[in-house]
Structure 1
Amino acid sequence: MATSQKLTEHLLTLGQDTDKLCRALEDLQLGEIHVQDDDVLDLKAAPVLQDTINVTVAGDAGGGAPADVTVLEVNGIDTVVVTDCNNKSVKSFYTRNSQPGHSKLSLEGGPWGITRLKHNQVAVTVLDTSQIVTVEVNPDLVLLSTITTSKQYWGITSLTPSALAASAESPPCVDILDMSGHVLRSVCPDHEGGHILLCPCFLCTTRTGNILVSDNGTKCVVCLTLEGDVVFKYRPTGDTALKDPLGITSTSTGDILVTDTSQHRVIHLTQSGQFVRNILTSQDGVHHPWGLCVGGRGRMYLCASDGVKVFTCCK
Structure 2
Amino acid sequence: MGDAPSALKRPLKNALQLACKTLRSLCGILEDNIKNEVDRLQSGLAVSAAEVSGEIDRRGAEIIQKLTETVHAEQNRLKKYLETSVVITNKDIDTLFTEDKHLLQKAKENLKLGENLIKSGSDSDIKINLSKLTKIASEISQTNPKTEIPELKITLTDSKKKNTETFSVDIGEILKPDIKSLTDRQTLTDTWTDTQTDRQTLTDTPTDRHTDRLTLTQTFHTKISSDKRNPHLDSIAVLGGERSKKIVVSDFFNFCVKYFSVENFKLFKYDLLSQPRGLARSRDQQVVVVLPWKRQILYLDIQDDIRLTNTLNIGKPYEYISVLPSNHLAVSVWNGDGVSVDILDEGGRVIQSLPHDLIPSPSCLTVKGDSLVVVSENNSLKCVTSSGLVTWQSRDSAKLRHLRGVACDMEEFVYVCDVQTNCIVQLSSDGEVIRDVITRQDGLSRPWFVCCDQDTLYVTQEDGHVKIFRWMKANP
| TM-score bin (small chain) | 0.7 to 0.9
**What is aligned with 1:8?**
none
Structure 2: distance between partners of 1:275 and 1:160? 26
Structure 2: distance between partners of 1:126 and 1:224? 25
Q: Determine which of 213, 222, 233 is the counterpart of 1:66.
A: 233
User: If each structure's strand is expressed as a fraction of its own residues, which one has the higher value?
Assistant: 1
Structure 2: distance between partners of 1:291 and 1:71? 12
**Residue 214 of structure 1 pairs with residue 375 of structure 2:** yes
Structure 2: distance between partners of 1:153 and 1:30? 31
Q: Residue 219 of structure 1 contacts residue 235 of structure 1 at CA under 8 Å; is this kept in 2?
A: no
The more displaced of 172-181 and 22-31 is 22-31
**Residue 273 of structure 1 pairs with residue 431 of structure 2:** yes
**What is aligned with 1:117?**
282
**What is aligned with 2:253?**
86
Amino acid corresponding to residue 302 of structure 1 in structure 2? V
The more displaced of 287-296 and 271-280 is 287-296
Map 1:177-192 → 2, pairs under 5 A: 177-188=344-355, 190=357
**Residue 52 of structure 1 pairs with residue 209 of structure 2:** no
Structure 1: distance between partners of 2:312 and 2:237? 20
**What is aligned with 2:396?**
236
Provide closer, same or farther for how the CA distance between residues 31 and 236 of structure 1 changes in structure 2, counting only shifts above 3 A: farther
Deviations 1:257-313 (A, max 9, x none): 0111122111000000001000011111111111111124x2110011341111111
**Residue 258 of structure 1 pairs with residue 422 of structure 2:** no
User: Shift of residue 206 of structure 1?
Assistant: 0.6
**What is aligned with 2:186?**
none
TM-score (norm 1): 0.82
Structure 1: distance between partners of 2:174 and 2:383? 15
User: Shift of residue 48 of structure 1?
Assistant: 1.3
Higher-Rg structure is 2
Q: Residue 102 of structure 1 contacts residue 140 of structure 1 at CA under 8 Å; is this kept in 2?
A: no
Local SS of the residue matching 2:420: helix
Provide closer, same or farther for how the CA distance between residues 271 and 141 of structure 1 changes in structure 2, counting only shifts above 3 A: same
The more displaced of 264-273 and 111-120 is 111-120
Amino acid corresponding to residue 231 of structure 1 in structure 2? T
User: Shift of residue 55 of structure 1?
Assistant: 1.1
TM-score (norm 2): 0.55
Structure 1: distance between partners of 2:459 and 2:270? 21
**What is aligned with 1:11?**
none
Deviations 1:123-149 (A, max 9, x none): 111121111111111152111111111
Local SS of the residue matching 1:313: strand
Q: Residue 283 of structure 2 contacts residue 323 of structure 2 at CA under 8 Å; is this kept in 1?
A: no
**What is aligned with 2:385?**
225
Q: Residue 62 of structure 1 contacts residue 86 of structure 1 at CA under 8 Å; is this kept in 2?
A: yes
**Residue 106 of structure 1 pairs with residue 256 of structure 2:** no
User: Shift of residue 227 of structure 1?
Assistant: 1.1
The more displaced of 136-145 and 224-233 is 136-145
Map 1:21-40 → 2, pairs under 5 A: 23=70, 26=167
Structure 2: distance between partners of 1:154 and 1:289? 18
Local SS of the residue matching 2:383: strand
Q: Residue 283 of structure 2 contacts residue 327 of structure 2 at CA under 8 Å; is this kept in 1?
A: no
Structure 1: distance between partners of 2:170 and 2:414? 22
**What is aligned with 1:303?**
460
Amino acid corresponding to residue 371 of structure 2 in structure 1? N
Deviations 1:215-249 (A, max 9, x none): 2x331101011011111111433x32x22111111
Q: Residue 33 of structure 1 contacts residue 160 of structure 1 at CA under 8 Å; is this kept in 2?
A: no
**What is aligned with 2:150?**
none
Structure 2: distance between partners of 1:210 and 1:70? 19
Amino acid corresponding to residue 65 of structure 1 in structure 2? H
Amino acid corresponding to residue 202 of structure 1 in structure 2? C
Which structure 1 residue ranges, 5 or more long, are not aligned? 1-18
Question: How many residues matched?
Answer: 282
Provide closer, same or farther for how the CA distance between residues 29 and 258 of structure 1 changes in structure 2, counting only shifts above 3 A: farther
**What is aligned with 2:21?**
none
Query: Which has the higher relative contact order, 1 or 2, with Cα contacts under 8 A spaced 6 or more apart?
Result: 1
Amino acid corresponding to residue 299 of structure 1 in structure 2? T
Aligned alpha-carbon RMSD (Å): 2.7
Q: Determine which of 324, 341, 366 is the counterpart of 1:174.
A: 341
Local SS of the residue matching 1:77: coil
**Residue 201 of structure 1 pairs with residue 368 of structure 2:** no
Q: Residue 222 of structure 2 contacts residue 267 of structure 2 at CA under 8 Å; is this kept in 1?
A: no
Q: Determine which of 279, 292, 297 is the counterpart of 1:132.
A: 297
Amino acid corresponding to residue 234 of structure 1 in structure 2? S
User: Shift of residue 60 of structure 1?
Assistant: 0.9
Q: Residue 364 of structure 2 contacts residue 406 of structure 2 at CA under 8 Å; is this kept in 1?
A: yes
Amino acid corresponding to residue 184 of structure 1 in structure 2? I
Structure 2: distance between partners of 1:266 and 1:28? 38
Structure 1: distance between partners of 2:447 and 2:433? 19
Deviations 1:139-171 (A, max 9, x none): 521111111111111121111354111011222
**What is aligned with 1:293?**
451
Local SS of the residue matching 2:446: coil
Local SS of the residue matching 1:86: coil
Local SS of the residue matching 1:291: strand
Amino acid corresponding to residue 104 of structure 1 in structure 2? K
Provide closer, same or farther for how the CA distance between residues 151 and 28 of structure 1 changes in structure 2, counting only shifts above 3 A: farther
User: Shift of residue 201 of structure 1?
Assistant: 1.4
